[in-house]
Amino acid sequence: MKRETILVIGANGQIGTALLPRLHAIYGLRNVIGADLRRPDREQGQFEWLDATQADELAALVRRHRVTQIYHLAAILSAKGESDPIWAWNLNMQTLLNVLEVARIHQIRKVFVPSSIAAFGDDAPKYETPQTAVLDPATVYGISKVAAENWSLYYHKRYGLDVRSLRFPGLISYQSMPGGGTTDYAVAIFHAAVQGKSYDCFLAENTLLPMMYMDDALRATLELMEAPESRISVRTSYNLTGMSFTPADLTASIQTYFPEFTTRYLPDFRQAIADSWPKTIDDTVARRDWGWKPDYDLTRMTQEMITRLSAVYQ
Ligand code: NAD
Ligand code: AKB
């Protein structure tokens, strides 16, 4: 068992819910603290209520538990952020700056701050979007991700803080529902299918987006965090990819299990967000630096989601 004390901020969201058991297995139940504004639906180890916009509360928690690593997962995602851009910006930036400052002051060994494909906008190449493409995001969420990437680089260069980041694609998981993003349809559609319902999709059928099964996202996170510092050449955020598919592709994949399943396409404001994002991602630099390789394609992810959710709904 590794001797670290890990703080996961935003622990009860889509990623945190799936990440906590992995961290428990590596560091032990007693050495992982989940913190969130929301109380957990079910008990997952140690929990502390925290509003991460409050720097003093965060610093007190870090001191109390002698935290050595922070995973900062609290954020307002792309679709939800558009309902109140200034609130989303303030929350995303204040929590980030509080984390970076507490990490600097308390000499935290490592910090993980996820970014997103939302950091890219209209002027980046849509196919095989490269690591260093122009970043001109269309959403407040994307703007906050670009700012977070630059703040992370700044804290690394100026203070030597070991902060690491991945530009996650849309993440697909069975453990919890996603928290207000543009790629949420790719989770909700499975819940409908295994319950024998049809699905109303808020994106058009031909909307191609980069996606990843949660197992791959967690493995990427832990591999990045475990990689020797000398292997980390990117201190903004690494491009990362698993698969790309459209709602029509996903529907067809689900229909191999449920031939009667149907999807209606009723695009709303999220279509414009999706259209501003890459369609496929070039993650050569992550593969080269720390050996990234995804395990899940559309077929394997569909099989896993249907198996897992069928057990939940039976
Ligand atoms: P989520 O919305 O599911 O969870 C975020 C959690 O943060 C929630 O449980 C929320 O209660 C908590 N939170 C919000 N404000 C807080 C505050 N002030 N103090 C403490 N906790 C607070 O998000 P997620 O999907 O788990 O994403 C985690 C991170 O990964 C985010 O930075 C997100 O941008 C990034 N990301 C996620 C995806 C994805 O598809 N899920 C893709 C790309 C990037
Ligand atoms: C969202 O849709 O906002 C997230 C993301 C890709 O960052 N899932």
Ligand with smallest separation from the Cα of 213: 1
Residue to substitute in 7, 15, 139 for testing ligand 1 pocket (most ligand atoms within 8 angstroms of CB)? 15
Its CATH class, for the domain covering 184-209+242-279+296-313, is alpha beta
Domain 6-170+212-239, CATH class in plain words: alpha beta
pLDDT for 2 equals 64
Q: Residue 186 belongs to what H/E stretch?
A: helix 185-194
Where does ligand 1 bind, in terms of residues with CB under 6 Å? 9-10, 12-16, 36-38, 50-53, 73-75, 77, 91, 95, 114, 116, 168, 170-171, 178-179, 181, 183
Instruction: Please give the number of the atom of ligand 1 that sits closest to the Cα of 77.
Output: 34
How large is the angle between the packed helices 247-255 and 185-194, nearest 10 degrees? 20
* Residue 194, pLDDT score: 98
- Interstrand relation of 263-265 and 199-201 (parallel, antiparallel or unpaired): parallel
Task: Check if the beta carbon of residue 241 is closer than 8 Å to that of residue 297.
Answer: no
183 lines ligand 2 (CB under 6 A): yes
CA 167–ligand 2 middle distance (angstroms): 10
The ranges of the chain with pLDDT < 70 are: 1-2
Give yes or no for residue 181 CB within 6 A of ligand 2. yes
Whole-number Å distance, alpha carbon 141 to ligand 2 midpoint, is 9
CA atoms of 144 and 214, how far apart (whole Å):
23
Instruction: List where CATH 3.90.25 sits in the chain.
Output: 184-209+242-279+296-313
First-to-last alpha carbon distance for the chain, in angstroms, is: 36
- Tell me, using a 6 A CB cutoff, whether residue 170 lines ligand 2: yes
Binding site membership of 118 for ligand 2 (Cβ less than 6 Å): yes
C-alpha to C-alpha distance for 161 and 213, rounded to whole angstroms: 29
In terms of Cα–Cα distance, which of 101, 20, 34 is closest to 65? 34
Q: Strand pairing partners for 47?
A: 34
Q: What gap in Å lies between CA 147 and CA 188, rounded to an integer?
A: 30
Spacing, Cα 260 to ligand 1 middle (Å): 34
Atom number of ligand 2 nearest to Cα 81: 3
pLDDT for residue 3: 84
| Of residues 313, 211, 202, 311, the one with CA closest to residue 253 | 211
Q: What are phi and psi of 240, to 5 degrees?
A: -150, 135
Distances (CA, A) of 313 to 152, 194, 300, 306, 310: 41, 7, 20, 10, 5
Q: How far is CA 247 from the centre of its chain?
A: 20
CB distance 32 to ligand 2 below 6 Å = no
Residue 19: per-residue pLDDT: 98
CA of 3 to the centre of ligand 2 (A): 33
User: What does residue 60 show for φ and ψ, rounded to 5 degrees?
Assistant: -65, -40
Range(s) of the chain covered by CATH 3.40.50.720: 6-170+212-239
* CA dihedral sign of residues 273, 276, 280, 281: negative
Q: Is the four-CA dihedral 45, 42, 8, 47 of positive or negative sign?
A: negative
Beta strands in the chain (DSSP E): 6-9, 32-36, 46-49, 69-72, 110-112, 115-116, 163-164, 166-168, 170-172, 199-201, 209-213, 238-239, 243-245, 263-265
Interval 255-308: pLDDT, tens: 999 999 999 999 999 999 999 999 999 999 999 999 999 999 999 999 999 999
> 141 catalytic, yes or no?
yes
Rounded Cα distance between 118 and 210, Å, is 11
Beta carbons within 10 angstroms of residue 156's beta carbon: 18
Q: Crossing angle for the helix pair 55-65 and 85-105, nearest 10 degrees?
A: 40
